[in-house]
Chain A
Amino acid sequence: AQSVAQPEDQVNVAEGNPLTVKCTYSVSGNPYLFWYVQYPNRGLQFLLKYITGDNLVKGSYGFEAEFNKSQTSFHLKKPSALVSDSALYFCAANDYKLSFGAGTTVTVRA
């Protein structure tokens, strides 16, 4: 069985500051890991994925994520957050179907 955990329900940062959204995973075999973002009343938008290769993955809108096998983590990061990054972020693991974390609400204040 596979699962992901997002230990923080909410993350609050000031605009221009670094943003980190945490995710840990538990999967059998090689993990396929994803980050999605959901804006109010919208669907899920793909941000980035880790399949294999470099541990640092770059994605859309300036986001990146670092895969850490020893810590079984896949934290999402952005060096300088924008107010428009305020949204609900989901980490997910893929074993043919996606298993989502509970989500982390990010609020970036001006």
Chain B
Amino acid sequence: EPEVTQTPSHQVTQMGQEVILRCVPISNHLYFYWYRQILGQKVEFLVSFYNNEISEKSEIFDDQFSVERPDGSNFTLKIRSTKLEDSAMYFCASRAGTSGEQFFGPGTRLTVL
């Protein structure tokens, strides 16, 4: 069964450093998402991506964040200068159509020291 994959599973970085979180969505899906979950809190939407551009972003997704689909398979989230409060689990998700369910990857735990 096809699945969304994410690498790395855990990333530790120093405050102010850049990090890139990687995702491989399900191959025939057209809509891509990033969410985050701060420990003990609910899952929050960050950004959606369709047709090679951002379709919607939340207030969390400020200028420090960017997304890219550099080739036909990868979908990346970049945080330019990490802050302590960026520590969270980051989930990638993809969806085939507009009303179907989103399929989530296992997540990347980002720890900013």
Note whether A and B form a binding pair: yes
Q: Which residues of A contact B (CB under 8 A)?
A: 32, 34, 36, 42-46, 49, 51, 90, 94, 96-103
The one of A46, A99, A101, A103 that contacts B101, using a Cβ cutoff of 8 Å: A46
- The CA-CA distance from A46 to B104 in the complex, in Å, is 8
In the complex the two chains form, what is the Cα distance from A10 to B44 in whole Å? 20
Q: Does B68 reach chain A (CB closer than 8 Å)?
A: no
Compute the total of residue contacts between A and B using a CB distance below 8 Å: 50
A45 with B48: CB separation less than 8 A: no
Instruction: Assess whether B104 is in contact with A97, with CB atoms less than 8 Å apart.
Output: no
Pick from A42, A49, A100: contact of B43, CB under 8 Å: A100
Q: Is the interface of A mostly helix, strand, loop or mixed?
A: strand
New A-B pairs, 10, CB < 8 Å, besides A44-B91, A46-B104, A97-B33: A43-B106, A44-B93, A45-B104, A49-B101, A94-B102, A96-B56, A96-B98, A97-B45, A98-B35, A98-B93
Residues of A within 8 A of B105 (CB): 43
Choose one: B44, B103, B106; the contact of A42 (CB below 8 Å).
B106
The answer to whether the Cβ of B55 comes within 8 Å of any Cβ in the partner chain is yes
Q: How far is the CB of A102 from chain B (nearest CB, A)?
A: 5
Given known contacts A96-B56, A96-B98, A97-B33, A103 and B42 CB-to-CB distance under 8 angstroms: yes
In the assembled complex, which residues on chain A have CB atoms less than 8 Å from the CB atom of B55? 96
B107 located at the interface, meaning its Cβ lies under 8 Å from any Cβ of chain A in the complex? yes
Q: Which residues of B have CB within 8 Å of A51? A: 99
When distances are taken between beta carbons in the complex, the residues of chain A under 8 Å from B41 are 102
Nearest Cβ distance between residue A90 and chain B, in whole angstroms? 6
Question: Which residue of A42, A90, A94, A98 has the most chain B CB atoms within 10 A of its CB atom?
Answer: A98
